[in-house]
Amino acid sequence: MTDKTLQAIAELALSGQPDPKSLHEVKRRVLDSLGCFFGAWMERSASTARESACIYGRCLDGATVWGHGCKATLDWASFANAVGVRALDFNDTYLSLEPLHPSDIIPSVMAVAEYLKAGGREFLEAVAVGYEIGCRLCDSATLRKRGWDHVNYTMIAAASALSRLLKLTPEQARNAISLSIVPHVAMRQTRAGELSMWKGAAAANACRNAVFATLLAKNGMSGPDQPFEGEMGFFKQVSGTIFPSEKWSDPYRCDAILKTYIKYHPVEYHAQSAVDAAVAVFSEVGGPHNIERVRVETFEAAYTILVKDREKWDPKTRETADHSLPYIVAASLHDGEVWLDTFSPEHLRIHGIRRIMQVMEIVEDRELTMRYPREIPNRITVKTVDGRTVIREVGVPRGHALNPMTDEEVEAKFHRLTSKILNDEARKSIVDTVWRLDKLDNLDELLSLLGGVGY
C-alpha cells in the first residue's frame, strides 16, 4: 500500500530547489555551528563523544572528527561532531507546533560529503533540503505534548538531506527515511527532570541513525512499509495525527531556513527574550542588591519546558541550568548578561543568583501564549527595595527571523566562542572558507582547517 506522506517527503528531498538567499543562510549556519562546536570544546559530553569516536570508530577512509584530527566511520564522526555542536545548546532553532534545532543535521551531512568528495554547493543544497523538511515537520504536528522527542524530526530531516547528497533514487530515499524513523523513535524523557549529558547528544544520535539507515538504503536495504500511515506507524503511535497535506504540496520550495533563528544568548530559545528583558531591567534597578521581588510572565511552551519541573528551580547541571527560566532570569538580573561561564558549577552556586530565584514567581500569561510562536514573548517585572517598579517586555529577540543577526554579528559570535581554542589565523581562515563554500570542488580545504586544532 502507498504511504503518500513518505512519498511526499522523499520527493521534496530529491526535488527541492534552494535559492541563493537560502544557500547563503546555510553558510551562516555552518559558521555558527562551528563556533558552537569549538565553544563547547571543554564540555565533558563533547570530549567524551570525540574520544569515543577516535577509539571505537577509527577508520582511515572515514570522515574527520573535528578538532581531534582523527578519522572515524561516517556514523561515529557524525555523532561526535554533532554532540559538540549541540553541547552548549547555542545552535540555531525553529519554533512551530514542535521546536527543532535544524543545524543538528549539519555534521552528518558534512561527514558524508567529505567521504563522497562532494562539492560545496551540493553540500549546501543538501543542508537546505534538510532544513526545509525539518521545518515542515514541525509545522505539521507536535511531538512533545505526546511524550516524544523533537529529534525524531531531526532524524527524518537528516535522512532526507543525505538522500539528496547521495543522489538516491526515489525508492532508495523512501527506504532511507523509513529505516531511520521506524527502528529509532526517541522518547522525550531525555528532557524531563534533571537533564543529563544525553540532552545534547540525542539529536546527534538521531543523525547517526540517519547516516546508518541512508547508507543501508543506498546499498539495497528496504525499509518497513508505510512508516507514517500504517496501522502501527508514526501517525498512530507518535504524532497522534496525520500531517496536513497542504504542508507537503510543493516539492520544489526550499526556503524554510529563512524562518529559523540564530541564538544570540547561550540559553534555550524560549528564554532568549527573557534574557533581553532582564538585561534591560538590570541597567535600571541599581544592582542585584536592590531587587525585592521578581515576576516573570511567559507563554505555555516556555513554562512547560523551562519552569514546571522542580529541578528547574534548583539546577545542578549546566544542561538543566540553560533550560531553567528561573536561573536564566536570575543570572541575567545579577550579572547583566549571560555567557558560557554563567553555567559553570561555581556560577550555579552564587548566593546572589539563588536569592533572586527565591523571590521570583513565574506564571503563564494567556495573551503571551496566543502570540507564540510568531513571537517569543517574555515580560519581567521587578519591585526594587527603594520602592520602584521596573517592567520590560521583549517579543522578538535578536537573532529571530524577524530581527536577524547580521553576517558581522554571526562572525563576532564565532570569534568569541572560538578565541580560546583557535588562533587568529585559524579563525580568519575558517570564516573565509565558509563564505566560499559554494565555490569549492570538495570540503577538503575547510576540513583541513578543522582537524587537530585543539591539540
Q: What is the pLDDT of residues 33-71, one digit of tens each?
A: 999 999 999 999 999 999 999 999 999 999 999 999 899
Cell of 263: 541564538
pLDDT, tens digit, for every residue of 1-33? 589 999 999 999 999 999 999 999 999 999 999
pLDDT (0 to 100) of residue 1? 55
pLDDT, tens digit, for every residue of 75-119? 999 999 999 999 999 999 999 999 999 999 999 999 999 999 999
Determine the Cα–Cα distance for residues 6 and 3; give it in Å rounded to an integer.
5
Mean pLDDT of 345-372: 97
> Per-residue pLDDT for 414 more than 50?
yes
Q: The pTM is what?
A: 0.94
Mean pLDDT of 413-441: 97
pLDDT, tens digit, for every residue of 217-257? 999 999 999 999 999 999 999 999 999 999 999 999 999 99
pLDDT (0 to 100) of residue 88? 94
Domains, the chain, ordered by start: 4-264+421-450 (1.10.4100.10), 269-394 (3.30.1330.120)
pLDDT confidence bin for 451, thresholds 50/70/90: confident
> Per-residue pLDDT for 424 more than 90?
yes
pLDDT confidence bin for 455, thresholds 50/70/90: very low
pLDDT confidence bin for 137, thresholds 50/70/90: very high
Mean pLDDT, all residues of the chain: 96
Cell of 85: 555542536
Higher pLDDT, 297 or 319: 297
